[in-house]
Amino acid sequence: MQATLVTAEDSAPVESSSSAVSWGPIIAGAFAASTLTFILMLLGSGLGLSMVSPWSGAGASAATFAVSTAVWLVVVQWISSGVGGYLTGRLRTKWVGIHSDETYFRDTAHGFLAWALATLLVAGVLGSALAAAVSSGVQAVSTVAAGAATGASAGAATKDGGAFDSTSYYVDALFRPVDPTKPLGANPENDAAATAQASRILLASAANGGEVAADDSAYLAQLVAAHTGLSQADAKARVDTMIAKVKDSKIKAQRAADTARKAGATFALLGALSLVVGAFIAGVAAALGGRQRDDEEAVYLSNQ
| Contact (Cβ atoms closer than 8 angstroms) between residue 29 and residue 88 | yes
Q: Which residues pair with 157 in a beta bridge?
A: 163
The per-residue pLDDT for range 57-89, each reduced to its tens digit, is 665 566 666 677 778 878 888 899 999 999 999
Number of CB atoms found within 10 A of residue 182's CB: 8
- % of the chain surpassing 90 pLDDT: 16
Model's pTM, two decimal places?
Answer: 0.60
**Pairwise CA distance, residues 213 & 204, whole Å:** 10
Domain of 135? 21-149+253-302
On whether both 37 and 130 belong to a single domain, the answer is: yes
| Contact (Cβ atoms closer than 8 angstroms) between residue 228 and residue 178 | yes
pLDDT-derived band of residue 150, with 50, 70 and 90 as boundaries?
very low
The H helix count followed by the E strand count for the chain is 9, 2
**Pairwise CA distance, residues 220 & 235, whole Å:** 8
**Pairwise CA distance, residues 9 & 4, whole Å:** 14
Residue 89, in any domain of the structure: yes
On whether both 63 and 117 belong to a single domain, the answer is: yes
Burial pattern 66-99, b for ≥16 Cβ within 10 A else e, equals bebbbebbbebbbbbbbbbbbbbbbbbeebeeee
pLDDT of residue 4: 53
On whether both 45 and 190 belong to a single domain, the answer is: no
**Which residue, 235, 252, 269, sits at the end of a domain?**
252
CA nearest to 217, candidates 186, 247, 248: 247
On whether both 180 and 269 belong to a single domain, the answer is: no
The per-residue pLDDT for range 30-53, each reduced to its tens digit, is 999 998 988 888 888 777 776 666
Mean pLDDT of 270-276: 83
In total, how many domains does the chain have? 2
